[in-house]
Amino acid sequence: MSRDEAKAIRDVELEKDRARYGLLAVVISNLAIAGVAVLGVWRLDGDKAVIVGVLTAAFTAVSSMTTAYLGIKAVSNTARSIALGDGGLRQQPLAPAPPPGQRTG
């Protein structure tokens, strides 16, 4: 195994660990937010206006955290693939079609 292959394997493992622990942090944070919201609703004893506010805030926090993680992960993956030179593997666009009525062959 060459030095470059060993480095590539370490990079892949590091990226897997980052993704795994990042997702774990988001899931734990979302569960904590949901737990606090449930506890808050339970302790409010039926005050509907406040319950709606608590649940709305909890939903906003969970969706914002999840969206931020997924957005950052997507940008990170894109930047990494560009840095590694994988960006040129996409198909080149086809030549534009000739105008109608023009013969090509």
Q: Are 65 and 26 in contact (CB under 8 A)?
A: yes
CA angle 26, 54, 70 (to 5 degrees): 25
pLDDT band of 91, cuts 50, 70, 90: low
Q: Look at residue 1 and give its three-state secondary structure.
A: coil
As a whole number, mean pLDDT of residues 36-43 equals: 90
Residue-averaged pLDDT of the chain: 84
As a whole number, mean pLDDT of residues 69-98 equals: 76
Q: Look at residue 53 and give its three-state secondary structure.
A: helix
Which amino acid appears at position 37 of this protein?
A
As a whole number, mean pLDDT of residues 85-96 equals: 61
pTM passes above 0.95: no
| pLDDT value of residue 94 | 66
Q: Which residue has 């480095």 as its token pair?
A: 7
